[in-house]
Each structure stands twice: as C-alpha cells, then as structure tokens.
Amino acid sequence: MITGSKKEIVDLIKRRGTLSIDEAVDEIDLAKTTLREHFLQLERDGFVDREYVRSGPGRPSLQYQLTSKGNSLFPSSESKLIRNIINYLKSKGSEQLVEEFFEDFWDQRLEEAQGRIKKSSAKDLESKVEILMQMLEEEGFMPEFNFDESDESLTVKECNCPFSEVIKETRLPCKLEEMFYKKLFNENAQRTSYIAEGDYSCTYDIPADQ
C-alpha cells in the first residue's frame, strides 16, 4: 500500500499520463530532493519507470509513467468481469471452452517464463527463479523466495493472488499453476500452502534438480 506524498505522486501520474520531478514540485509541497527520492523509491519498487521525452530544442525531459504494477493500485472491475464471463459460459454449458482458455493461458505463461530463462542463460535453480520472480512481480503475485544452500532446494511464496475473483468460479487456475511449477522446474515441485483454502500465501517447495 502506498500512502502520503508517494500516493500523491502516483495519483498525479495516473491523471496526467506522465510526470516530471519539476512538475511534481509545482503540485506537491515538498522539497525537490525529497520528491526525487520518492520517485527513485517508486521506481525501485516497480511502480513507475522513466523515459526521456524530447519536445522542441534543448535537453530531453525526464518523465515518469506508471508500470502495470503501478496501475494495479487503482480500482478495477476486470477480475469481477472475468468471473462473470466464466459463470455465464458455464451456465451455457461451455465449461470445456473455459478449460481450454485457461490451459492455453498457462501454456503461454510457461512459454514466456522458459523464454526469459533461456534468454538470460541462467543455469542453476537460484538464477532461474530470480528470472521468474520478475515475471511474477509484474503479474501482481507479490512473490518471495528462499534458496536453501544446504540441499539447493527452493521455496517460492506468492503473497497475492491476482486471480482471486476467478478462483471463486473455478479452481482450474490453481491446478494449472501447480503444473506450471512442475514443468518449469521439476516434477517433484509441490504446493504446501494455498490462499484459496485460507492460507496467507500460495507456497511451492521445489527440490533441487536431480
């Protein structure tokens, strides 16, 4: 949760599309050095990113814009809408179509994760999961991981479920997610805690590759 002046910055960017530090100084009653630190912190946390924009002669202007994680801070009815669509399809006898959609969606996620790992040339388990963490962070899972050097096993914790509304209609995404970890790492990966059953996170224990 973002509060205080950081929330003011995020709200301004949402309203304007982009925002520079100088523009923020005009709107927020804080010193430029303080605002600069807020922008850097928001960037480090993945809520904003920067780009240089040229408008006329002179040096380009440094502008900040919201990332997908930053946009997720604002109310959205997308999840509820998707839940209603799933419920509608099921009521029309199209459950098979729902299953095919989620299977295809998770196949695409697996392909993207494998592609990122391959592109990074990561070889060991810890390096691979660091690539996955970035992807999960972008998707809103609020991930954490712990690597046990004694046996080279791994624990991945997802502290948020961006599919929580969908799960109210079908547990298929949960089943497919467990398969996702098995295919991405190894068949012995298993889920040990489960948000849908009242736990605070979905946790996956992944033993070292044999």
- Written as tens digits, the pLDDT of the chain (210 aa) is 788 999 999 999 988 889 999 999 999 999 999 999 999 999 999 999 999 887 667 678 899 999 888 887 877 667 778 888 988 998 999 989 999 999 999 999 999 999 999 998 878 888 888 999 999 988 888 899 998 888 878 999 998 888 888 888 889 999 999 999 999 998 999 999 999 898 889 999 998 875
pLDDT at res. 71: 83
- Sort 20 into a burial class: Cβ within 10 Å, 0-12 / 13-18 / 19+: middle
CATH number at residue 184: 3.30.1380
Residues 137, 42 share a domain? no
Residues 53, 127 share a domain? no
The pTM for the full model equals 0.65
pLDDT at res. 141: 87
Residues 64, 33 share a domain? yes
- Domain span including residue 38: 4-71
DSSP string of 147-190, one letter each residue:
EETTTTEEEEEE---TTHHHHTT-SHHHHHHHHHHHHHT-TT-E
Residues 92, 8 share a domain? no
| Non-local CB neighbours of 181 within 8 Å, separated by 6+ positions | 156, 189, 191, 204, 206
Residues 121, 67 share a domain? no
pLDDT at res. 20: 93
Long-range Cβ contacts of 134-139 (<8 Å, 24+ apart) = 137/46, 137/69, 138/46, 138/67, 138/68, 138/69
pLDDT at res. 76: 65
Residues 170, 82 share a domain? yes
- Sort 42 into a burial class: Cβ within 10 Å, 0-12 / 13-18 / 19+: buried
The closest alpha carbon to 66, from 28, 22, 17, 2, belongs to: 17
- Whole-angstrom Cα distance, residue 58 to residue 12? 25
CATH number at residue 49: 1.10.10.10
- Sort 114 into a burial class: Cβ within 10 Å, 0-12 / 13-18 / 19+: middle
pLDDT at res. 210: 52
* Number of separate domains in the chain: 2
Q: What's the Cα-to-Cα distance from 123 to each of 86, 109, 118, 142, rounded to whole Å?
A: 39, 20, 9, 24
